Amino acid sequence: MTIPLDSAAKLLGLLASGELTARQATQASLDRIAATDPEVGAFTFVNTEAALAAADSIDQRRRDGQPLGALAGVPIAVKDVLCTTDMPTTCSSRMLEKHMSPYDATVVARLRAADAVIVGKTNMDEFAMGASTETSAFGKTTNPWNPSLTPGGSSGGAAACVAAGDVPLSLGSDTGGSIRQPAAFCGITGLKPTYGRVSRYGLIAFASSLDQVGPMAFDAVDCATLLNAIAGVDASDSTSLPVETPDFTAGLDRIEGELRIGIVKHHLEAEGLDPEVRQAVDDAIEVFRDAGAKIVEVELPHSDYWVPTYYVIAPSEASSNLSRYDGAHYGHRSPVAASEAGDRGPLVATYCRSRGEAFGAEVKRRIMIGMYALSAGYGDKYYVKALQVRRLIRQDFDSAFQNVDLLLGPVTPTPPFAMGEKIDDPLQMYLCDLFTVGANLAGIPALSMPGGLTSNNLPIGIQLQAPPLQEAKLLQAAAAFQRATDWHTKRPL
């Protein structure tokens, strides 16, 4: 029997019927990782023994008739920015190369409670700073569709392991598009929930007011199943929203009432938007129109300020969050003797050497930008001004959603780009976030789904955005699109 590692729904059906055991599913996943990862490089750690032990426990409890969780026996991978007690948590950085967390992130604990089998941790841009998974200290991740191309970032490993058929589900994190952009590049579905819908406890912080954990899978149904397992209020996270969590899998076979979809024409005329990406968006508009949706042009007047606003706020928060990695408390330490320290003294010299050795170039760049934006005399000029513009951006979305239910547009300006193409040009790399950072600044949910293939057989993603806490509407629309198209069924050759 061919084990369907590209579909959690199919796996759950086979597991429930007894046609498949959790150990068989887990072993198939581990075998697939062993076959694909030497080229793809999606994983920083594979937890073979613990995964098989968890699978055996699930099988035994199933035989004994004991209750099981909603994801019982399904292999899953988690981004290496989420704390785990049984695997290193490194953020793909030398700074945390040997770090073992004393606790599980809330989302990891909820996966374990749902009886998912966590097979490993996935590669990422160092401390989630990047858009190509090329800044990892432990090697690059390649795109399963073409190994000369990037899988996107920073959740490139989390996207690539799904696209490669290693696991049907993975968890990523999204600070400015880091779930949606790699999902688009790898031809899968990825959802950034509303800020506060999913707990950030145990998510190592990049930019605390922007970070959010979300599901990645080939289709909207599997994303909804995974979101069910991880969403909900958490007393350990003060930013977790105390709201009722719906069943996100309910109603995926239909859309209630007429769907109004907004199109931001300005985005479709943006400089640098690839013609094939534009065509895929136009085709998606027609799919929704044919399904009975009403298409409405809307404006987001401050969208030109999304990227500059983001690249003030995110580095500012990062410079603060990463100040804890000083070589004294935990992480990489490179001590300096008093005789070597000079006028700085051994403590400051140890700070400098430890951080200089352990942080990569992109992390250093963002720390420096953030420290400058927060420095005396410049905080009001840059950081406070960026916060004021952020409020205007949220107001733009609020106004648009008075007239439409969802917004539809591109995820990225281009299809997947070549390894090394942008790594030495930070500005071009930052512009990869052109269409995604707005949702993080506004705190709204947004989803990327496969919407086409280029003439070179590379995936193109389509983005849907919704008002706060309307993930169910997003998933219903995505499921409707996927019933009408087959782009989500395409796999790397």
Question: What is the Cα gyration radius of the chain?
Answer: 22
Please name which of 87, 63, 86 lies closest in space to residue 73, comparing C-alpha atoms. Answer: 63
CB neighbourhood size of 41 (10 A): 23
**Of the residues 7, 92, 154, 316, which is catalytic?**
154
Note whether 170 and 161 are within 8 A (CB). Answer: yes
Per-residue tokens: 353: 């050497």
Enumerate residues 6+ apart whose C-beta is below 8 A from 400. Answer: 262, 298, 299, 300, 407
Q: Is 206 helix (H, G, I), strand (E, B) or coil?
A: coil
**Of the residues 7, 29, 79, 422, which is catalytic?**
79
Note whether 89 and 80 are within 8 A (CB). Answer: yes
| Alpha carbon 134 to its chain's center | 16
Q: Is 79 a catalytic residue?
A: yes
Q: Return the sign of the alpha-carbon dihedral for residues 460, 219, 212, 256.
A: positive
| Alpha carbon 434 to its chain's center | 16
Q: Is 80 helix (H, G, I), strand (E, B) or coil?
A: coil
Q: Return the sign of the alpha-carbon dihedral for residues 210, 215, 217, 220.
A: negative
The rounded distance, in Å, linking the Cα atoms of 239 and 118 is: 26
Please name which of 25, 27, 211, 196 lies closest in space to residue 124, comparing C-alpha atoms. Answer: 211
Class of residue 453 by CB neighbours under 10 A (exposed 0-12, middle 13-18, buried 19+): middle
Q: Is 178 a catalytic residue?
A: yes
Q: Which residues pair with 75 in a beta bridge?
A: 117
Please name which of 199, 236, 235 lies closest in space to residue 214, comparing C-alpha atoms. Answer: 199
Which stretches does DSSP call E strand in 35-155? 43-46, 75-79, 117-122
Q: Is 453 helix (H, G, I), strand (E, B) or coil?
A: strand
Class of residue 276 by CB neighbours under 10 A (exposed 0-12, middle 13-18, buried 19+): middle
Enumerate residues 6+ apart whose C-beta is below 8 A from 386. Answer: 308, 309, 312, 313, 316, 373
Indicate the helix (H) or strand (E) that contains 402. none
Enumerate residues 6+ apart whose C-beta is below 8 A from 343. Answer: none
| Helix, strand, coil distribution of the chain in percent, nearest 5 | 45, 15, 45
Catalytic center residues: 79, 154, 178
